[in-house]
Amino acid sequence: MPRLAVLGYPVGHSRSPAMHNAALAELGLGEEWSYEAIEVAPDALEARVRAMPSEGFVGANITVPHKGAALALADELSETAREIGAANTLVFADGEVRAENTDADGLLRALPASLTGRRALVLGAGGAARAVVWALLREGAEVSVWNRTELRSQHLCEELGGEAVGEPRQDAYDVIVNSTSVGLAGGDPFAELPLRVGGFSAKQTVVDMVYGGEQTALLRAAEAAGASVVDGIEILVQQGALSLEIWTGRPAPLETMRTAARA
C-alpha cells in the first residue's frame, strides 16, 4: 500500500489527511493509498524522512517548521524548490528524496486577480514566506517583507528580491499576505503583526495562510472593510492538489478536496 503523510511540529491541526484521503477515495485509490499526519521534532526530521521509503511511503508534505530543513536533506531539487529555498513536498523514488515546492503555485491559483504592478506586503520570513515572495515577484508585483526579526526579512530579500520594511503602512498595499503562524493558536494577530483592525480597505486583497475551525480574526476584519479575502484552507487545497498530482500522476479532484478540508 503506497503511503503518504504530512510532517510538521505541531501537526495535529492539519486538515491534509482528511483532504487527501477524500481525494484518494474519489480517484478510486482509497483502498490502495493512505495519507496520515506525523508529528516530528526538528532534531528528528532527517532520520524520520530517511526511514520513510522503507516503510512504504512514496511521498510527504512538509509544513511548519520543516520547509527549509526538508530542502537541505533532499538528494534532488526541483528548480522551483531550489529558487525558493524551501520544500513543502517530498517524493521518494529510486532510493532518493526529491524536493518540490507547490506552495508558490498554490498561492497564485488561490488569488482572485492579476498581480502585475500591484504592491504587496508579506508578513513573515520563514519557508512559507519564501514561496509567497518568490511567487509574487514572478507575477510582477512590487513586494515588501516585514518580519518581527528584521534581519531575517533583510536576508530573505537579499536572496529572493523585494524590500525589507520595519514599519509598513497598511493602506499602501494592494495585497497583504500573512505567512506567519500568528493566529494559529487563536491569539490576537493585531497584537503581534503591524496591522490595525480598522486599517483595511475595499481595494485590498488579504490572505491569511493560517486556518482553523472558523475564519481568522485577520480575515474577519479585512472582510468587514470590504476587502477580498483568501483563507489558508483554499491555499492548502490548491497546493495539496498540485502535490497529489505529482505523487499519483492524476488530476486532483479540487471540489472534493475543498469540501473535505472545510468539513
Measured N-to-C along each axis, helices 232-248 and 254-262 cross at an angle, to the nearest 10 degrees, of 130
Burial of residue 2 (number of CB atoms within 10 Å: 0-12, 13-18, 19+): middle
Cα–Cα distance between 168 and 170 in angstroms, integer?
Answer: 6
Query: β-strand 96-100 against 76-77: which pairing, if any?
Result: parallel
CA end-to-end distance (rounded Å), the chain: 26
Which phi and psi (to 5°) does residue 174 adopt?
-85, -30
Cα–Cα distance between 70 and 152 in angstroms, integer?
Answer: 19
Active-site residue, 67 included: yes
Query: β-strand 205-208 against 163-164: which pairing, if any?
Result: unpaired
Are the C-beta atoms of 206 and 227 separated by less than 8 Å? yes
Report the b/e string of 91-108 with b at 16+ CB within 10 A.
bbeeeebbbbbbbbbbbb
Are the C-beta atoms of 77 and 101 separated by less than 8 Å? no
Q: Which of 15, 20, 66, 67 is catalytic?
A: 67
Question: Which residues form the catalytic set?
Answer: 67
